[in-house]
Structure 1
């Protein structure tokens, strides 16, 4: 394929991707396949699900090749009656741009404190360790060895769900 044809094909594909992102920002064909499944689960639950429920799920392959699949659901009543203050530390840990950058880099394969410290815009080594402690304390990270971090498997999809929910 000649360079001009290759560039034209890339432009065509980029235009299609941009159009798809504008027209259908959600996964799938626009149908409510996940919602339909949730409704069926709620109907099967009977009286326990009178007020409905919430479900999140995901199948993720990270740039490192790691694969995660996860689903979680909760009845509306349990969510509304629970102590929302319990979630404050978890949300607070995600509420800093450097921490979000660290999480993204760790999911992308940079796992050691030294690799993270080599990034620009994340601060001094002391600041990086402060952010890593905040994320670890809130359960978004755990250590796998000396100076090595990873997002726990059970938190990968929930982290991406939170990021999805935060999109404008």
Structure 2
């Protein structure tokens, strides 16, 4: 009887140890949040909103020196309950390599259709205007003058966050 109790105690200890470790191959997805120094943003989010919230934030300077700061929080349950179909147009506009290149170049300071057309690999002027219209329609770009474009400040950090999340 004592041997069975010892074996049971060992099995429970092994199960507890296994439950405390992230699943194999997913250490980058499941990170312990107990280290307040390393996870200061996460700890601040939980302190402010509790469990069940999402936050993205950023502070940067664009290449020409314009400062951009952004923060947005969302309730995770509300987002999961929402209809995601309307997001497709906004995300779909990012789904073409030339559109991503256009956004990058515009953030770097190349802001006219003519300048963008002179860059390698952007395609014909008709193709460039097509891609620019798609990005404007989806809200990733706006026209600021005849043939001049910019990424609206409120879209810079979300755009960079989407790209950061999509990194392989």
* Secondary structure of 2:59's aligned partner: strand
Task: Report the Cα distance in structure 1 between the residues aligned to 2:60 and 2:44, rounded to whole angstroms.
Answer: 20
From the CA coordinates, give the structure whose radius of gyration is larger. 2
Equivalent residue number for residue 109 of structure 1: 109
Residue 84 of structure 1, CA deviation: 0.6
| Dislocated runs of 4+, deviation >4 Å | none
| Deviation, structure 1 residue 77 | 1.2
TM-score (norm 1): 0.77
Compute the RMSD of aligned alpha carbons: 1.4
Structure-2 separation of matches of 1:62 and 1:33: 25
Partner of 1:20: none
- TM-score w.r.t. length of structure 2: 0.77
Could you tell me how far 1:42 is from its partner in structure 2? 1.4
Q: Which whole-Å CA distance do the structure 2 matches of 1:33 and 1:118 have between them? A: 44
Q: What stretches of structure 2 of length at least 5 have no aligned partner? A: 1-36
Greater share of residues in helix: 1
Residue number in structure 2 paired with 1:42: 49
Counterpart position of 1:118: 118
Structure 1 gap segments, 5+ residues each = 1-29, 44-50
Q: Report the Cα offset of residue 117 of structure 1.
A: 0.6
SS in 1 for 2:86: helix
> CA separation in 2, counterparts of 1:135 and 1:36?
35
**In 2, Cα distance between equivalents of 1:131 and 1:85:** 21
